[in-house]
Amino acid sequence: MSQISYKDAGVDIDAGNSFVENIKPLVKSTKIPGVLGGIGSFAGAFELPVGYKEPVMLAATDGVGTKLKLAIDSGIHNTVGIDLVAMCVNDLICNFGTPSFFLDYYATAKLDVKAATAVVSGIAQGCREAECALIGGETAEMPGMYHGGDYDLAGFAVGMAEKSELDRTSHVNAGDILIALPSSGLHSNGFSLARKVLLEKMGMKFEDDFNGKPLIETLLTPTRIYVKTFKALKDKIQALGHITGGGIVENLPRVLPEGVRAVITESSIRVLPIFELIGQHVERSEMYRAFNMGVGMILVIRPENVDYVLANTDGYVIGHLEKGTREAVLV
């Protein structure tokens, strides 16, 4: 009677081992003070940093959404890992958490070592940009659950914060000024709608020219990571709003206390060309709910600190806070 191996069932242990060897130098490149041990153990270890009066651990998890479909279909895998890190660490800093370490989960039908290594190279780059360590992860070959070259990603970031700094709404008041930090593009939200409009309705192709480069390059531009800006300006920031799914109108109110509303001057928003293109076929209100429209992060700043923040970032004023119903309105 013939014997059946794990490889016959669709899982290649040797490919997994080869992948681990490929990513060891990538993981090592993210090492920062606090990392204990190296890759290959059952769990990653990180020593708690000193200097906190009431240290609190913060955790955030996210994925890349259907942006992955574009990476898979185009064969460009080295940028979505940056997105994965960005979506997690950009959330952490909104609670004044400084990212410490990151873990990833990669699931696929059949492990393509080259593609998977490219993905992790992006994760490592994102960790370096966020100044946090990649200390572990999981790779799962799951034939029957996924098909062809499909894969899925999930990311997990942990950071540290002072307990007294967690509740940012207590630091926010009417009269504060709103400063927008530009996004690098769609970031990692709204891709189901973007694909529907650009690839189906408009019939565009990945290689079509858009603003002097192939459309796919614009679509796969990695999510901007704002950690270094946060660290440099922390003492000048009252609150931060990460503009993801739901756009400005749904994310900004999350940092507002009751009795305070955000007033955004719509004409001041520096809308990126890709949103102008998509907006030809989507209602304005829907655009502002699905996309960041060129604003990746909004900072709430005291009036006396505005000039300093503007001088030390690429940000610009887009509105202010005033007394009223807790909401964000475009005027």
pLDDT for 207 beyond 70: yes
CATH number at residue 317: 3.90.650.10
Q: Say yes or no: 119 and 22 in one domain.
A: yes
pLDDT band at residue 17, thresholds of 50, 70 and 90?
confident
User: What is the average pLDDT across 237-244?
Assistant: 98
For the ranges 6-10, 256-260, 304-308, the lowest mean pLDDT is seen at 6-10
Q: Say yes or no: 37 and 161 in one domain.
A: yes
Burial 174-205 (b: 16+ CB within 10 A, else e): eebbbbbbbbbbbbbbbbebbbebbbeeeebe
The domain in which residue 243 lies consists of 169-330
User: What is the average pLDDT across 306-319?
Assistant: 98
| pLDDT (0 to 100) of residue 12 | 67
Q: Work out how many domains the chain is built from and give that number.
A: 2
| pLDDT (0 to 100) of residue 147 | 87
Higher pLDDT, 116 or 42: 116
**End position of a domain, from candidates 117, 143, 166:** 166
Rounded distance between C-alpha atoms, residue 262 and residue 233, angstroms: 21
Rounded distance between C-alpha atoms, residue 190 and residue 70, angstroms: 13
Q: Say yes or no: 89 and 22 in one domain.
A: yes
Q: How many residues does the chain have?
A: 331
Calculate the average pLDDT of the chain: 94
pLDDT band at residue 1, thresholds of 50, 70 and 90?
low
For 242-261, the pLDDT digits (tens) are: 999 999 999 999 999 999 99
User: What is the average pLDDT across 182-187?
Assistant: 98
| pLDDT (0 to 100) of residue 9 | 60
Q: Say yes or no: 185 and 324 in one domain.
A: yes
Q: Say yes or no: 199 and 273 in one domain.
A: yes
| pLDDT (0 to 100) of residue 22 | 84
pLDDT for 15 beyond 90: no
Q: Say yes or no: 179 and 151 in one domain.
A: no
pLDDT band at residue 293, thresholds of 50, 70 and 90?
very high
Higher pLDDT, 189 or 8: 189
In a domain, 270, yes or no: yes
| pLDDT (0 to 100) of residue 6 | 64
**End position of a domain, from candidates 123, 145, 166:** 166
**End position of a domain, from candidates 166, 185, 211:** 166
CATH number at residue 117: 3.30.1330.10
Q: Say yes or no: 85 and 230 in one domain.
A: no
| pLDDT (0 to 100) of residue 131 | 98
pLDDT for 107 beyond 90: yes
Q: Say if CB 216 and CB 70 are below 8 A apart.
A: yes
